[in-house]
Chain A
Amino acid sequence: AQKITQTQPGMFVQEKEAVTLDCTYDTSDQSYGLFWYKQPSSGEMIFLIYQGSYDEQNATEGRYSLNFQKARKSANLVISASQLGDSAMYFCAMREDDYKLSFGAGTTVTVRA
């Protein structure tokens, strides 16, 4: 079964607007971590934000925020004030007790001027 589900293959967003990328996960572990990574066309993986399963507050890192809804097992990424440089592939990932990361299929974001 898929551990991480990203249902949006691609999204377009206007520059300066906000965009929400969906991520749902499946785990029976009580302790787990959720991550979002950005992968530009260069191929590097850039860490954006982290949410621990026991964190009560939603994580924020600059223009990135994570909307964590534990009961629904969702961890959506919100990018505010989109910039042209935000055009990239975005991956949601989960770490369980074995410390391995499981990745979703990814969402391609294209920012329009």
Chain B
Amino acid sequence: SAVISQKPSRDICQRGTSLTIQCQVDSQVTMMFWYRQQPGQSLTLIATANQGSEATYESGFVIDKFPISRPNLTFSTLTVSNMSPEDSSIYLCSVDRQGARGYTFGSGTRLTVV
């Protein structure tokens, strides 16, 4: 299955600032997914990133707050903009390898906003 390098692994940020999270996959994939996991909660899909088109956002998530880039088939970034303490979460990227049964996840970015 795919190997995903996600960074940073953790960060502490001041409110009002932005943080960009990167995910690099070791092979080309069609779809990349970005999730948020708030403390003690399950994973919630933020958006699906396809190369060459705008990301598709889930209800409750908007592009101005979570802009996503997908410049090629192996890389994507998620930016958390104008952060507030409520954005403190683990953010994970994931890929669906065509033909593979398990979605692979990055190691996660543990974000704390102070």
Q: Do the beta carbons of A103 and B42 come within 8 Å of each other?
A: yes
Given A100-B48, A101-B94, A105-B42, A45–B105 Cβ distance below 8 Å?
A: yes
A residues neighboring B (CB under 8 Å)? 33, 35, 37, 43-45, 47, 50, 52, 91, 95, 99-106
A-B contact count (CB 8 A): 47
A44, B108: Cβ atoms under 8 Å?
A: yes
Cβ of A23 to closest chain B Cβ, rounded Å: 12
| A residues less than 8 Å from B41 (CB atoms) | 105
- Smallest Cβ-Cβ distance to B110: which chain A residue: A43
What string of 1s and 0s marks CB contacts (under 8 Å) between B87-101 and chain A? 000101010100001
Report if A50-B102 is in contact (Cβ < 8 Å); known contacts: A43-B108, A99-B96, A100-B33. Answer: yes
Query: Residues of B at under 8 Å CB distance from A?
Result: 1, 31, 33, 37, 41-45, 48, 90, 92, 94, 96, 101-105, 107-108, 110
Main secondary structure of the interface of B (DSSP, over half): strand
For A91, the chain B residues whose CB sits under 8 A away are 42-43
Select from chain A the residue with minimum beta-carbon distance to B105. Answer: A45
B105–A44 CB distance below 8 A: yes
- Which of A43, A47, A101 is close to B90, meaning CB atoms less than 8 Å apart? A43
B71 smallest CB distance to A (angstroms): 21
A50's partner among B31, B101, B105, B107 (CB-CB below 8 A) is: B101
Check A43–B104 contact: CB distance below 8 A: no
A99 touches B31 (CB 8 A): yes
Q: Is the CB of B33 within 8 A of A101?
A: yes
Q: Is the CB of A44 within 8 A of B43?
A: no
Q: How far is the CA of A102 from the CA of B35 in the complex (A)?
A: 11
Contacts A99-B31, A99-B96; is A43 near B101 (CB within 8 Å)?
no
Docked Cα-Cα span, A102 to B31, in Å, equals: 16
Bound CA–CA A91/B35 (angstroms): 14
Given A33-B101, A45-B105, A100-B45, 14 further pairs, Cβ under 8 A:
A35-B102, A37-B105, A43-B110, A44-B105, A45-B94, A45-B108, A52-B101, A91-B42, A95-B96, A100-B33, A100-B48, A101-B45, A103-B43, A104-B42
